[in-house]
Amino acid sequence: VDFPGETEAFELCAKFCYGITITLCAHNVVAVRCAAEYLEMTEEVETENLVQRLELFLTSCVFKSWRDSLVTLQTTKALPLWSQDLGITNRCIEAIANGVSLSPGEDLPTQLETGLSRNRSRRRDESLCNGGGRSKAENAARWWGEDLADLGLDLYQRTMVAIKSSHRNVSPRLIGNALRIYASKWLQSIEPDSHLVLESVISLLPMEKSSVSCSFLLQLLKMTNVVNVSHSSKMELAVKAGNQLDKATVSELLIPLPDESGMLYDVDVVTMMVKQFVSQIRPTRTRTQHRRSRSEENINLEEIQEIGRSLSSSSSSSSPNPLLVKVAKLVDS
């Protein structure tokens, strides 16, 4: 019989039966709760039985602490089915999401214990979080973004979905920067599940244009050709990058292809991004559409021309890049 929680959990349940004081903490409460459920230590058998005591401990202690909620959520990985059936996983996620929504824009949580955050040494910026200075949004998301980055993919994705829930009103910019932190940690090297991590990060990106930088999107896009993500995820990323293509540099638009492709750079995806950028600032006019102001038209035209000039200057060198030549012609047309 697969007893949940193994020997330690059984011993704690047995001690409780004999009236011996047991010590509970975030590290063992999940195993003991699952074991107590298995042993049917419920109110139907005896009042104030172990299940009721454990539920009280979870509600009054664990879920009121940022640190304990995170630790407890991590321990559910050992007993995923039991934890899910007993609602422990979902309640941990809700407690964490509530903690973020209480103080999303502060360096450290105020309403909840800081635990992991207070003693955590600051991670150095990696390739996906490059740049010397960090914006206020990056610093604001850092206290919870770094803590959540320790979660495995499934729990992280579920937690971020809860945080993104509309009723929590967490800024898309903060969510975007938390995703940068996660990508920086888990996409430093190519692993068998890297494509799953990348696809998850892409799916969690906020819809708002300013939530993440174009540079970050293009770095993710370069990785799509390395870890073979789904075509739909790659196209979703290309559209997001295309929406703010005026913020990209020419070097960032050189997206390498695998050697076996026979081409150096991904011409098709860059062409798609340029078309996306042009389409959003040159919308097709109909008779029912209001004419935009002259100043707005001038700004949009300048954005297109700037991309064209950048690409053209690079493609006119002694060894022109075919990708840049093709895209520059598209912009100039």
Q: What number of residues does the chain have?
A: 333
Domain end position, chosen among 84, 100, 116? 100
Tokens of 213: 């930088």
Return the closest-CA partner of residue 72 out of 109, 40, 114, 30.
Answer: 30
Q: What is the pLDDT of residue 117?
A: 38
Kindly state whether residue 254 falls inside one of the protein's structural domains: yes
Long-range contacts from 75-83, C-beta under 8 angstroms, 24+ separation: 75/26, 75/27, 75/28, 75/29, 75/30, 75/31, 76/30, 76/155, 77/152, 77/155, 78/30, 78/31, 79/4, 79/5, 79/30, 79/31, 79/34, 82/4, 82/34, 82/37, 83/30, 83/34
Return the closest-CA partner of residue 251 out of 269, 265, 237.
Answer: 265
Kindly state whether residue 56 falls inside one of the protein's structural domains: yes
Q: Is residue 71 pLDDT above 80, yes or no?
A: yes
Kindly state whether residue 271 falls inside one of the protein's structural domains: yes
Kindly state whether residue 83 falls inside one of the protein's structural domains: yes
Q: Is residue 285 pLDDT above 90, yes or no?
A: no
Q: How far is CA 204 from CA 152, 164, 165, 233, 248, in A?
A: 15, 9, 11, 11, 22
DSSP alpha helix (H) spans, the chain: 6-17, 29-38, 50-60, 66-75, 80-85, 88-102, 116-119, 136-148, 153-164, 172-186, 194-204, 214-227, 231-242, 267-281, 294-315, 322-332
Query: What is the share, in percent, of the chain residues with pLDDT greater than 70?
Result: 72
Local structure of 246: helix, strand or coil: helix
Kindly state whether residue 110 falls inside one of the protein's structural domains: no
pLDDT digit string (tens) for 209-268?
A: 889 999 999 999 999 999 989 999 999 999 999 999 889 888 888 888 887 777 788 888
Domain end position, chosen among 100, 116, 132? 100
Kindly state whether residue 138 falls inside one of the protein's structural domains: no
| Average pLDDT over the chain, rounded to an integer | 81
By residue range, what is the domain housing residue 21? 1-100
Kindly state whether residue 164 falls inside one of the protein's structural domains: no
Tokens of 224: 């799509």
- Mean per-residue pLDDT, 112-124: 39
105 burial type by CB count under 10 A (0-12 exposed, 13-18 middle, 19+ buried): middle
Domain end position, chosen among 281, 304, 320? 281
Q: Is residue 314 pLDDT above 50, yes or no?
A: no
Q: Are 243 and 277 in contact (CB under 8 A)?
A: yes
pLDDT digit string (tens) for 165-179?
A: 978 889 999 999 999
Q: Is residue 289 pLDDT above 90, yes or no?
A: no
> Count of domains in the chain?
2
* List of residues 6+ apart from 299 with CB closer than 8 A: none
Q: Are 17 and 53 in contact (CB under 8 A)?
A: no
C-alpha torsion sign, points 15, 18, 23, 24: positive
- Can you tell me the distance from the alpha carbon of 331 to that of 141, in angstroms, rounded to the nearest whole number? 37
Kindly state whether residue 214 falls inside one of the protein's structural domains: yes
